[in-house]
């Protein structure tokens, strides 16, 4: 078991972030055990950022093999790794990012893991998984006090969905204390006030409601001013659930049709008037192709920062969905199911 307090080496290495989030946050990070499910283009970005932050351990669970395309988009992979297990291939470069973090790899399929496997982590980060598995993991997480965040990138569109349970956090608010000093000059001492907050995250089965499931979408559809990218997110998740893959350029024509059908079902479920949506008609053009690398950089940065917030219980986290707009490049929170 590691020492609770930071060593001088760690203090030097993490100096620039300790100055931002404080030493208590850093100590919580160094005690955190993170599970990353699937380490593809987005997963490699998340892994990089959380390894750099100085967690205790990272377990990489991925049963995939390296493809030519994957090799080109994942900086943790080397040339010549095509055909080998991804989890094995990323290990050397991942470890080099931060030798202080314990990294384990697991090449079994995530779906083969029983519930007890997921209970041993501080937080689980999932990418590229199907919704039923995600909901199953969420159920385990909720019973074992493990936080969960899921995210994906399709083309230039990306998002994340979090379940941080009943999340207590604090943030520092800086106040200029204009206290008068005895000699009449203002002392512009800054004082930092700790402000506490709590967010009660809904369980994911009340957040990710797809057509043909037993869950009622009633609580969700009432909301006005919905960020309509939420429906695009659901459509892409449903596409993968049904087709066991992402939309692909090779089968673009057929995939577009499938996506439009799914979208129509989702609009029906959520009682969205297609004519009134502001989504561009060709929005699905943007989701084809592999994960676009700079979008993974953006979304991977957002998800890793949420992991850091969840672990350190510092700063306001996203509640509960993050949507990256592939047209404007806005990145917004959308509260669903609360």
Partner 1 sequence: MVVTQITKETIGNSKVLVVGAGGIGCEVLKNLALSGFKDIEIIDLDTIDVSNLNRQFLFRKEHVGKPKAVVARESILNYNPDIQIKAYHDSITSQDYGLNFFKKFNIVLNALDNRAARNHVNRMCLAADVPLIESGTSGYSGQVELIKKGVTQCYECQPKPPQRTFPGCTIRNTPSEPVHCIVWAKHLFNQLFGEEDPDQDVSPDTEDPEAKVEGQAHSATNAGNIQRTSTRRWVQDIKYNPSQLFNKFFKEDIEYLLKMENLWKTRKPPVPLSWEQAASHEGDSVEEENNVRMQDMKVWPLSKCAKVFASTIDVLKNEVSEDKFLVWDKDDKPAMDFVTACANIRAHIFSIATKSRFEIKSIAGNIIPAIATANAMIAGLVVLHAFRVLLQEFEKCPSIYLRQKSVHSKFILAADKQITAANPKCYVCSPKPFVNVFVNTNSMTVKEFETEVLKKGLNMIAPDVVLDGRGMVVISSEEGETEINNDKKLAEIGIVEGSILKCDDFLQNYELSVAVNQYEAKEKDDPLYKIVANPDDLKAKESVNGGEKNGNEEEKQAESDQDDLMVVEESDDPQEGSSKRRKLNPIEDNDDDLCIIDS
| Residue 134 beta carbon to partner 1: minimum distance, rounded to whole angstroms | 22
Please return the burial class of 12, using the count of CB atoms within 10 Å of its CB with bins 0-12, 13-18 and 19+.
exposed
Continuous segment of H or E residues that includes residue 138: helix 131-144
Pairing label, strands 166-177, 189-200:
antiparallel
Say whether residue 150 binds partner 1 (CB under 8 A).
no
Which of 137, 131, 150 has the alpha carbon at shortest distance from 43?
A: 150
Q: What residues are paired with 36 via a beta bridge?
A: 60, 125
CB of 135 to partner 1, least distance (A): 25
Alpha-carbon distance of 333 to 338, in angstroms, equals 13
What does the block give as tokens for 294? Answer: 């700079």
Site for partner 1 in 184-203 (CB under 8 A): 184-189, 197
Q: Count, in order, helices (H) and strands (E) of the chain.
A: 11, 10
How many positions of this chain bind partner 1 (CB under 8 A)?
80
Q: Is 156 a residue that touches partner 1 (CB under 8 A)? A: yes
8 Å CB contact between 167 and 305 = no
Cα separation, 234 vs 217, whole angstroms: 13
Q: Which is closer to partner 1, CB of 176 or CB of 248?
A: 176
**CB proximity list for 6: less than 8 A, separation 6 or greater:** 14, 23, 26, 27, 30
d(C-alpha 317, C-alpha 199), whole Å: 9
CA distance 112 to 61: 11
Q: Which of 13, 31, 82, 338 binds partner 1 (CB under 8 A)?
A: 13
**Residue 165 binding partner 1, by CB under 8 A:** no
Nearer to partner 1, 100 or 133 (CB): 100
When binding is defined by CB under 8 A, the residue of 116, 182, 196, 244 that contacts partner 1 is 182
**Smallest distance, Å, CB 143 to partner 1?**
28
272 vs 318, beta carbon nearer partner 1: 318
* Shortest Å, Cβ 5 to partner 1: 5
68 contacts partner 1 (rule: CB under 8 A): no
Which of 31, 82, 91, 97: binder of partner 1 (CB under 8 A)?
A: 97
Query: Taking CB under 8 A as the criterion, which residues in 289-328 touch partner 1?
Result: 289, 292-302, 304-305, 308, 315-318, 322, 324-328
Give yes or no for residue 84 binding partner 1 (CB under 8 A): no
Quote the DSSP letter at residue 59.
Answer: E
* Closer residue to partner 1, CB minimum distance, 269 or 296: 296
Find the binder of partner 1 among 28, 40, 48, 167 (CB under 8 A): 48
Q: Which helix or strand (DSSP H or E) is residue 76 part of?
A: none
Beta pairing, strands 123-127 & 157-163 = unpaired
Q: Applying CB under 8 A, which of residues 2, 92, 96, 193 lies at the interface with partner 1? A: 96
Q: How far is the CB of 141 from partner 1 (least distance, A)?
A: 22
Binders of partner 1 among residues 229 to 288 (CB under 8 A) are 280, 282-283, 285-286
Q: How far is the CB of 9 from partner 1 (least distance, A)?
A: 9
**DSSP code at position 140:** H
């Amino acid at each position: 078991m590691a020492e609770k307090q930071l060593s001088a080496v760690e203090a030097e290495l993490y100096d620039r972030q300790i100055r931002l989030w404080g030493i208590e946050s850093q100590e919580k990070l160094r005690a955190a055990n993170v599970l990353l499910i699937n380490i593809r283009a987005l997963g490699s970005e998340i892994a990089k950022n959380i390894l750099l932050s100085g967690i205790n351990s990272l377990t990489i669970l991925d049963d995939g093999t390296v493809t030519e395309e994957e090799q080109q988009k994942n900086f943790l992979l080397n040339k010549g790794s095509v055909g080998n297990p991804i989890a094995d291939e990323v290990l050397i470069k991942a470890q080099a990012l931060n030798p202080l973090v314990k990294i384990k790899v697991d090449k079994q399929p995530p779906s083969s893991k029983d519930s007890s496997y997921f209970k041993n982590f501080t937080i689980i980060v999932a990418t590229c998984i199907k919704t039923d598995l995600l909901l199953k993991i969420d159920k385990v997480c909720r019973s074992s006090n493990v936080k969960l965040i899921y995210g994906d990138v399709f083309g230039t569109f990306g998002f994340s969905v979090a379940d941080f349970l009943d999340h207590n956090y604090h943030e520092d608010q800086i106040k200029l204390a204009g206290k008068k000093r005895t000699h009449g000059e203002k002392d512009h001492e800054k004082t930092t006030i700790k402000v506490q907050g709590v967010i009660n995250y809904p369980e994911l089965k009340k957040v990710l409601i797809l057509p043909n499931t037993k869950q009622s979408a009633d609580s969700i559809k009432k909301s006005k001013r919905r960020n309509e990218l939420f429906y695009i997110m659901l459509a892409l998740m449903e596409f993968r659930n049904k087709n066991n893959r992402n939309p692909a350029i090779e089968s673009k024509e057929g995939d577009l049709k499938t996506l439009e059908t799914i979208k129509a079902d989702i609009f029906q479920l959520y009682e969205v008037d297609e004519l009134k949506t502001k989504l561009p008609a060709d929005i699905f053009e943007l989701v084809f192709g592999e994960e676009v690398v700079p979008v993974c950089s953006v979304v991977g940065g957002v998800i890793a920062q949420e992991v850091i917030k969840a672990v350190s219980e510092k700063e306001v986290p996203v509640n509960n969905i993050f949507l990256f707009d592939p047209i404007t490049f806005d990145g917004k929170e959308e509260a669903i199911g609360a």
